[in-house]
């Protein structure tokens, strides 16, 4: 369980001025991809966050929707959603062929007919028509983009491909100030994740964008209104998402409740803290 008091202390007392370090835009090493997939298994280090994603997205996805997952990787969230919403169509987009091969292999093994893949740059999406998508999701991916101009292009593209009543859900890490905070975060992940995943997480935290940068770009480019949720006390994460537009399906609620019952107590506490530490603000203009 994350020692929140230590994180807040280091972030408030540090005088460091962090310099963002680019992370490789594409993860294509097979061992790295396998470890990445293992990290998203229930009971692993991402369980609290993954459960939060499912709760939030289940308020945005409607029967028959076409859902686009940008920089989907091997599709840990996409596959969960595709199983819960078999009447919806899911498109996973990524630049890494190994990631997409793993996603397709997993979807085929589960007999999923509602999942397709595109190997494309998420800034351009040449095979996705404007105004054709009901819901765009992208999680833990924007920090891979080499500079803020790329993030702006992705936000602009999200607005282009969405239908007039479409929705979006965006999550990523925010830039932390203290190297001590980053070490705490990485050490916590390393307790449950393979070494390659912990290393990748460290690189991701160093590549994260400042919240102020993301918020300014979001206000400029994303369809409004949307809700911005930022971690209280220190810049640990951010969520940008459309307001709820449906009630979670019965299948989604049953599945989420079932996952909750299987989680260890520390993971349940982390999940509750994640939801409690959000500061929510509606951006309407």
pLDDT for the residue 25 = 62
- Measure the CA–CA gap between 5 and 232, rounded to whole angstroms: 12
pLDDT band, residue 161 (cuts 50/70/90) = very high
Which of the listed ranges 13-27, 151-165, 175-189, 195-209 does the model predict with the highest average pLDDT?
151-165
Above 70 in pLDDT, residue 181? yes
Q: Which distant-in-sequence residues (6+ apart) come within 8 Å of 199 by Cβ? A: none
- Measure the CA–CA gap between 47 and 233, rounded to whole angstroms: 23
pLDDT band, residue 68 (cuts 50/70/90) = very high
pLDDT for the residue 1 = 67
pLDDT for the residue 280 = 87
Q: CATH assignment of 4-283, given 3.40.50.720, 3.40.50.150, 2.40.240.10, 3.40.190.10?
A: 3.40.50.150
Query: Given the structure tokens 């599945």, which residue do they identify?
Result: 255
pLDDT for the residue 144 = 93
- Measure the CA–CA gap between 178 and 12, rounded to whole angstroms: 9
- Per-residue pLDDT tens digits for 213-229: 999 999 999 999 999 99
Above 80 in pLDDT, residue 274? yes
DSSP 66-129: EEEEET-TT-HHHHHHHHH-TTSEEEEEES-HHHHHHHHHHHHHTT-SSEEEEE--TTT-TTS-
- For the chain, what are the domain ranges? 4-283
pLDDT for the residue 284 = 85
Angle at the Cα of 42 (from 180 to 103), degrees rounded to 5? 100
Instruction: Calculate the alpha carbon distances from 7 to 143, 175, 187, 190, 245 in Å.
Output: 21, 13, 13, 17, 35
- Measure the CA–CA gap between 243 and 225, rounded to whole angstroms: 7
- Per-residue pLDDT tens digits for 74-122: 999 999 999 999 999 999 999 999 999 999 999 999 999 999 999 999 9
Instruction: Calculate the alpha carbon distances from 126 to 136, 145, 214, 253, 255 in Å.
Output: 16, 18, 24, 35, 35
pLDDT for the residue 15 = 84
């Amino acid at each position: 369980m994350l020692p929140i008091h230590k994180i807040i202390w280091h972030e408030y007392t540090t005088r460091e001025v962090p310099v963002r370090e680019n992370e490789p835009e594409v993860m294509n090493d097979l061992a790295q991809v396998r470890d990445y997939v293992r990290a998203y298994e229930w009971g692993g280090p991402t369980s609290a966050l993954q459960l939060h994603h499912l709760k939030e997205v289940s308020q945005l996805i409607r029967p028959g929707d076409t859902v686009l997952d940008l920089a989907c990787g091997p599709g840990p969230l996409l596959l969960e959603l595709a199983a819960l919403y078999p009447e919806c169509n899911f498109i996973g987009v990524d630049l890494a062929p190994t990631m997409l091969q793993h996603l397709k292999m997993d979807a085929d093994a589960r007999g999923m007919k509602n999942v397709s893949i595109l190997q494309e740059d998420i800034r351009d999406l040449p095979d996705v028509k404007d105004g054709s998508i009901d819901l765009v999701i992208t999680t833990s991916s924007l920090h891979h983009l080499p500079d803020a101009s790329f993030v702006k292009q992705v936000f602009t593209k999200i607005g282009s491909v969405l239908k007039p009543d479409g929705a979006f859900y965006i999550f990523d890490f925010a830039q932390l100030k203290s190297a001590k905070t980053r070490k705490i975060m990485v050490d916590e992940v390393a307790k449950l994740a393979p070494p390659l995943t912990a290393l990748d997480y460290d690189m991701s935290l160093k590549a994260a964008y400042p919240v102020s940068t993301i918020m300014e770009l979001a206000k400029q480019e994303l369809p409004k209104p949307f809700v911005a949720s930022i971690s209280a006390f220190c810049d640990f994460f951010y969520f940008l998402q459309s307001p709820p537009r449906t009630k979670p399906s019965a299948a989604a609620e049953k599945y989420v409740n079932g996952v909750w019952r299987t989680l260890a107590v520390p993971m349940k506490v982390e999940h509750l803290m994640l939801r409690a530490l959000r500061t929510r603000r509606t951006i309407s203009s």
